[in-house]
């Protein structure tokens, strides 16, 4: 395994206070990160406007930042102020003692004992989607679908059920459109040299205010319904938030909004990239179909089944490696001088970690651009902090166990009925709020309606996969 980070600090040329770097971040962010790592090494120092900024590409510095000196950094206020426009005073944006107290309260909603119930909700919605898709395919047994849109709507329905105990929203298409507007807004306003006031007569401003209104009406309405329930625990996340926040409607609203947007957005993206990978990897597709057929015998999965579906989880973990929805962790700003494994950071410096670049570093992952779930079927061969789909340290994603369970259960449910067969176009990663396929993900699906009985599987179709 490669050793420790070199002491060299790369410093790319710049002009006009790093405006050229800001342009690349805005229009070519993933290639920019990869280019910096390849050309300038493990530690890169940039000038971004008035700020001295660092990008860390070695697990040693990543570990130092996220686990040893995390309390010496806050999330960059320029970014948190943008997201706070609709997230409010949520866990995602809190700092210091307020963050500790907030995290303690929200963590109660993700207790291990509650996860199987959330998983059952995910399976029920995935099974209904499978029914709808097989009907849509009709006698032909195939259909071309925008898989990214389908997965986004599925995870919205799952979020409504697990978070609020609610049925799928009737205005789901409107909500999806609003979420996309907020994703675009977050990226645009956080990368712009200046943030323009909302009263300007600009289409982008009108769209943002419309989207904020859609989401606020949705969440405030569902929170009000939860507060009015006679039972104290409805089996959903909202019940725990209400209990932990002692009925404080505003606090519940802010954390519920944050969980809804972040959880739904990233889960939908993860499923899209997983199915895209399976459409291009018939051998892995065949193997996972056999695992699911043999492990479940034609019944719907439960959370306790996942221990017997190791390849299903490995597929998800490899999709997270190649296309992590959190492709870049929240930009951090140092509140005091600190040494990060040999890198001297000043108070006020910005520090960035890009899991997308770490995950594609050939020092840690052989053939890093190749989809190979076998990496995750044994013990990790890479350093602990080279793989960060959910971050790490005290501020690790609070919902990571739920997210992995949800994705595995959805995969095991859908693949018993329908199979991604062919991509209609190569997906291009679009780094906005999360990493989504640009312009959608048109994909041909086929039905497995000929599957019969326990361990049945559509064996003819599966063998056709193996022969390709």
**Residue 408 known to bind ligand:** no
| Helix, strand, coil distribution of the chain in percent, nearest 5 | 55, 10, 30
Residue 298: CB atoms within 10 A of its CB come to 14
Beta bridge partners of 446: 142, 419
Is residue 442 within a helix (H) or strand (E), and if so which, with residue range?
strand 442-447
Residue 285: CB atoms within 10 A of its CB come to 23
439 vs 254: CA distance, rounded Å = 30
SS3 380: coil
Residue 237: CB atoms within 10 A of its CB come to 28
Structure tokens at 228: 């009015």
DSSP state letter for 376? G
Q: Among the residues of 297-394, which ranges form H helices?
A: 310-322, 355-359
Question: 3-state secondary structure string, 158-198?
Answer: HHHHHHHCCCCCCCHHHHHHHHHHHHHHHHHHHHCCCCCCC
Structure tokens at 249: 């409607």
71 vs 65: CA distance, rounded Å = 9
**Residue in this structure with the two tokens 């018993």, named with its chain if needed:** 416
State the number of CA atoms in the 13 A half-sphere of 106 facing the CB.
25
Comparing CA positions, the residue from 354, 372, 229, 364 lying closest to residue 314 is 372
Q: Show binding-site residues for heme.
A: 397
Q: Show binding-site residues.
A: 397
């Amino acid at each position: 395994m490669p050793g420790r980070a070199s002491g060299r600090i790369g410093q790319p040329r710049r002009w006009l206070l790093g405006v050229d770097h800001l342009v690349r971040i805005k229009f070519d962010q993933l290639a920019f990160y990869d280019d910096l790592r390849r050309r300038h090494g493990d530690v890169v120092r940039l000038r971004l406007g008035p700020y001295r900024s660092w990008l860390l590409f070695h697990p040693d510095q990543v570990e130092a930042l996220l686990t040893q000196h995390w309390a010496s950094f806050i999330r960059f206020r320029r970014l948190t102020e943008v997201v706070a426009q609709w997230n409010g005073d949520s866990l995602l944006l809190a700092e210091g003692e307020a963050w500790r107290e907030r995290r303690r309260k929200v963590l109660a909603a993700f207790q291990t004992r509650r996860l199987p119930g959330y998983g059952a909700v995910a399976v029920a919605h995935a099974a209904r989607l499978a029914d709808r898709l097989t009907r849509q395919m009709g006698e032909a047994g195939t259909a071309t679908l925008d898989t990214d849109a389908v997965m986004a709507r599925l995870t919205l329905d799952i979020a409504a059920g697990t978070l609020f105990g609610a049925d799928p929203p009737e205005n789901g298409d409107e909500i999806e459109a609003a979420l996309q507007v907020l994703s675009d807004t977050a990226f645009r306003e956080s990368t712009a040299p200046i943030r323009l006031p909302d009263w300007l007569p600009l289409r982008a401003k009108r769209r943002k205010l419309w989207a904020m209104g859609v989401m606020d009406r949705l969440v405030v309405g569902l929170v009000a319904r939860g507060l009015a329930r006679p039972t104290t625990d409805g089996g959903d996340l909202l019940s725990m938030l209400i209990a932990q926040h002692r009925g404080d409607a505003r606090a519940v609203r802010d954390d519920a909004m944050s969980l809804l947007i972040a959880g739904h957005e990233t889960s939908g993206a993860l499923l899209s990239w997983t199915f895209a990978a399976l459409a291009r990897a018939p051998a892995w597709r065949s193997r996972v179909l056999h695992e699911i057929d043999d492990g479940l015998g034609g019944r719907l999965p439960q959370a306790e089944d996942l221990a017997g579906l190791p390849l299903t989880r490995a597929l998800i973990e490899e999709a997270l490696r190649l296309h992590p929805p959190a492709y870049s962790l929240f930009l951090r700003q140092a509140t005091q001088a600190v040494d990060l494994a040999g890198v001297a950071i000043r108070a006020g410096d910005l520090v960035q970690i890009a899991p997308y670049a770490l995950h594609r570093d050939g020092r840690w992952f052989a053939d890093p651009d190749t989809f190979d779930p076998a990496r995750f079927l044994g013990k990790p061969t890479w350093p602990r902090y080279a793989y960060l789909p959910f971050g790490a340290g005290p501020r690790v994603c609070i919902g990571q166990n739920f997210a992995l369970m949800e994705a595995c259960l959805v995969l095991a449910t859908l693949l018993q009925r329908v199979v991604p067969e062919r991509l209609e176009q190569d997906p291009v990663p679009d780094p906005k709020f999360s990493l989504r396929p640009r312009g959608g993900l048109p994909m041909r699906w086929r039905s497995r309606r000929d599957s019969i009985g326990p361990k049945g599987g559509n064996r003819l179709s599966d063998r056709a996969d193996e022969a390709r």
